[in-house]
């Protein structure tokens, strides 16, 4: 019998989500006026549905694997083996961006994100990536702030960007 | 006749210079972003949403119509010139279009796709103009119970009936429904699943979910499994003109495909996947040159491309007249409407006739813009395709994060975006469809409201959904769609 650890983990994850939804639903009020149902009714239905679906997925995972799923072997999908570094660089870029944007500003956070993502896709030219990222982020920043009046943080570049941004 | 007058007034709105400009901007940007490999129509619309933040509603919606059409056409260019189809609806085009390009006939393939999209889009818009008032008349008779049952029908068809796995489709739908519950309950003001986080009280934004699933998830997936694969962009050699023979073989395919695509778009059948394949199969059956199929038959591009556009227009019928999105892209469009406080549905045709008919008129205009803009600019679109993957995805993520951050100027939305990205990665890797989740997020809260309204009217009597004839019919059809295929499979299994 084919058994995939990932499928089992995902099935149990869905099941856990359903239990979580059900648990939070239990704390919601149930009074609902004329309808006779309150704000907890649909959450209860959704929670029960997710629990049921998680159990169904788990049943499939333990009895021969999910039906009609994509092949586990990357080569069978016409792809290469999992590239952990690529995945990690993109994640790191997004977290750095999250941390920097409110503090260092939109442009600097954008440059860091751009360089990290490009690195994750195998770029070996960080200087080029920083340059392109800077032109792009600065262009987008000025376009949104000056033309569309959308507020974006200027951060450390505030002295250079003057009145633009917040 | 009334519809005709309304449409004329609509043209008055759509042809205002400023609205015409927004149409042009929308088509151009939509095509540009839609051409980018790995960016489908749903992501294109979601990423370009922040651009309309400061426009008036009419201008914004007209720009969106342009983006929607541009994204569709952009996708077909990518499919023909690159051998990786961006979305499932393009697989049929990839079969023949990419072969034609490899054989040095990229020009006629792109031309038949563009002209076919124009013909199908225009005919389908005429059908929309005629059909919409009829549906509106019918829909005005709907009460909350009818709406709820219709939404249940849409939920089941998009998640359980189509696709490779009923259980995974339903799982995606229910995850979307769960996200739809986050925030303040519209009926009682009760916060649900917000855990005291201010950003969550507003609910999960459809742009954050769509961009997370389609942009961040896709970037993670491609980096992990496809970044070392090489792709070849086919060169555009020779003339883009179609020969007389090409015309003769294309136009019947366009017309047949429109007849297939439009009706499929109007029902909740999960988008353009089925009609494009159906059109491909029909063309293969009817062709005088069946031996060319698989080697670059022009009918195999003309048909599916026209079907794709006709069904994209058909999707607007339930979206505008009933407020029900039947594809992920339509769900994002509905989210855009809601941002302006506009709730599509039969009442909108009465209360804001200018806006609705202006939008419909702009579809005619958008089709023309698409035709005059795209064939001459084809050289630029080819250049766009050669942007290296590292630069491409880095730029996509800069825009993706911008859309999420501009909601509340808060990093919390960026964390949510990343979590949706992980979810999108997992769903792509383990073959769980993402469309039902996006539809569930948008349609779930609407369905809950109708459900509770129906029960309020009936004083808590839940049989109301079965005793009202229209509502009962919808539920019966839904039940049949689930039970019949299951019975068929069972009897087959027993015979085997």
Give the gyration radius of chain A's Cα atoms.
Answer: 24
Give the gyration radius of chain B's Cα atoms.
Answer: 22
165-194 in chain B: CB under 8 A from chain A = 165, 167-168, 170-171, 174-175, 177-178, 181, 185, 187-188, 190, 192-193
- Considering the entire predicted model, what is its pTM? 0.93
Per-residue pLDDT of chain A (166 residues; tens, 9 = 90+): 677 899 999 999 999 999 999 999 999 998 877 777 889 999 999 999 999 999 999 999 999 899 888 888 888 888 889 999 999 999 999 999 999 999 999 999 999 999 999 999 999 999 999 999 999 999 999 998 888 888 899 989 888 887 666 6
Cβ pairs bridging A and B (under 8 Å): 210
| CA separation for the pair B332, B439 (Å, rounded) | 8
| CA separation for the pair A21, A24 (Å, rounded) | 5
Per-residue pLDDT of chain B (496 residues; tens, 9 = 90+): 677 888 999 999 889 999 999 999 999 999 999 888 888 888 999 998 888 877 888 888 889 889 988 988 888 888 888 866 556 667 778 888 888 988 888 889 999 999 999 999 999 999 999 999 999 999 999 999 999 999 999 999 888 877 778 999 999 999 999 999 999 998 889 999 999 899 899 999 999 999 999 999 999 999 999 888 877 788 777 777 888 999 999 999 999 999 999 999 998 876 777 888 899 999 999 988 888 888 889 999 999 999 999 999 999 999 999 999 998 999 999 998 888 888 999 999 988 888 899 999 999 999 999 888 877 888 888 888 889 999 999 999 999 999 899 888 999 999 999 999 999 999 999 999 999 999 999 999 999 999 999 999 998 888 999 999 999 999 999 999 888 888 888 888 887 6
DSSP H/E element including B183: strand B183-184
Of the candidates B170, B410, B462, B159, which has an alpha carbon nearest to the alpha carbon of residue A51? B170
Please give the DSSP secondary-structure letter assigned to residue B345.
S
| ipTM beyond cut 0.85 | yes
DSSP per residue over B86-136, as a string? SSGGGHHHHHHHHHHHHTT-HHHHHHHHHHHHHHHHHHHHHHHHHHHHHHH
Closest-CA residue of A relative to B392 is A118
DSSP per residue over B187-234, as a string? TT--EES-TT-HHHHT---HHHHHHIIIIIHHHHHHHHHTTT----BP
A121 contacts on B by Cβ (under 8 Å) = 222-223, 227, 389-390, 393-394
């Amino acid at each position: 019998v084919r058994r995939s650890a990932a499928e089992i983990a995902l099935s149990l994850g869905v099941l856990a989500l359903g239990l979580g939804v059900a648990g939070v639903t239990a704390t919601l009020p149930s009074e609902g006026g004329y309808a006779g149902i309150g704000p907890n009714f649909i959450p209860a239905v959704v929670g029960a549905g997710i629990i049921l679906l998680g159990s169904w997925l788990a049943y499939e995972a333990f009895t021969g694997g999910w039906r009609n799923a994509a092949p586990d072997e990357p080569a069978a999908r016409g792809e290469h083996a999992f590239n952990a570094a690529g995945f990690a660089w993109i994640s790191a870029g997004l977290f750095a961006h999250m941390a920097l944007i409110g503090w260092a500003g939109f442009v600097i956070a954008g440059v860091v994100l751009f360089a990290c993502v490009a690195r994750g896709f195998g770029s070996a030219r960080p200087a080029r990536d920083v340059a392109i990222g800077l032109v792009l982020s600065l262009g987008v920043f000025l376009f949104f702030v000056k033309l569309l009046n959308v507020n974006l943080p200027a951060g450390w570049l505030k002295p250079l960007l003057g009145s633009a941004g917040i | 006749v009334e519809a005709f007058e309304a449409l004329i007034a609509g043209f008055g709105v759509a042809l205002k210079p400023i609205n015409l400009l927004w149409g042009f901007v929308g088509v151009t940007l939509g095509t540009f972003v839609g051409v980018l490999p790995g960016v489908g129509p749903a992501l294109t619309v979601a990423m370009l949403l922040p651009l309309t933040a400061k426009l008036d509603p009419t201008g914004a919606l007209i720009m969106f119509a342009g983006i929607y059409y541009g994204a569709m056409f952009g996708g077909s260019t990518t499919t023909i010139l690159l051998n990786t189809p961006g979305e499932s609806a393009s697989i049929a085009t990839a079969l023949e279009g990419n072969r034609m390009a490899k054989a040095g006939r990229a020009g006629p393939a792109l031309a038949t796709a563009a002209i076919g999209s124009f013909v199908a889009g225009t005919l389908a818009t005429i059908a929309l103009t005629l059909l919409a008032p009829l549906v509106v008349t019918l829909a005005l008779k709907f009460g909350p119970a009818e709406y709820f049952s219709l939404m249940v029908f849409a939920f089941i068809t998009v998640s359980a009936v189509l696709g490779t796995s009923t259980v995974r489709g339903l799982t995606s739908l229910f995850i979307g429904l769960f996200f739809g519950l986050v925030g303040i309950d519209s009926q009682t003001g009760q916060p649900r699943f917000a855990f005291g986080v201010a950003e969550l009280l507003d609910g999960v934004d459809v742009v954050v979910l769509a961009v997370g699933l389609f942009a961040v998830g896709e970037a993670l997936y491609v980096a992990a499994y496809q970044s070392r694969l090489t792709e070849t962009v086919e060169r555009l050699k020779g003339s883009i003109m179609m020969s007389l023979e090409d015309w003769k073989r294309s136009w019947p395919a366009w017309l047949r495909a429109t007849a297939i695509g439009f009706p499929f778009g109007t029902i909740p059948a999960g988008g353009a996947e089925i009609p494009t394949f159906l059109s491909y199969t029909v063309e293969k059956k009817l062709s005088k040159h069946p031996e060319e199929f698989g080697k670059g038959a022009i009918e195999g591009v003309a048909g599916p491309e026209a079907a794709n556009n006709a069904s994209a227009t058909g999707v607007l019928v339930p979206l505008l007249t009933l407020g029900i999105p039947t594809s992920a892209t339509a769900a994002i469009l509905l989210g855009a409407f809601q941002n302006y406080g506009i709730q599509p549905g039969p009442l909108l045709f009465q209360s804001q006739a200018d806006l609705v008919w202006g939008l419909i008129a702009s579809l005619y205009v958008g089709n023309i813009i698409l035709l005059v803009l795209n064939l001459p600019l084809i050289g630029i679109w080819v250049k766009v395709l050669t942007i290296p993957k590292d630069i491409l995805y880095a730029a996509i993520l800069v825009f993706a994060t911008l859309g999420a951050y501009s909601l509340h100027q808060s990093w919390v939305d960026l964390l949510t975006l990343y979590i949706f990205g992980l979810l999108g990665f997992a769903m792509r890797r383990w073959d769980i469809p993402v469309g039902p989740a996006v539809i569930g997020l948008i349609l779930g809260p609407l369905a809950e409201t109708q459900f509770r309204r129906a029960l309020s009217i009936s004083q808590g009597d839940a049989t109301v959904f079965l005793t009202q004839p229209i509502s009962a019919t919808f539920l019966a059809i839904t039940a049949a769609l689930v039970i019949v295929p299951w019975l068929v499979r069972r009897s087959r299994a027993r015979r085997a």
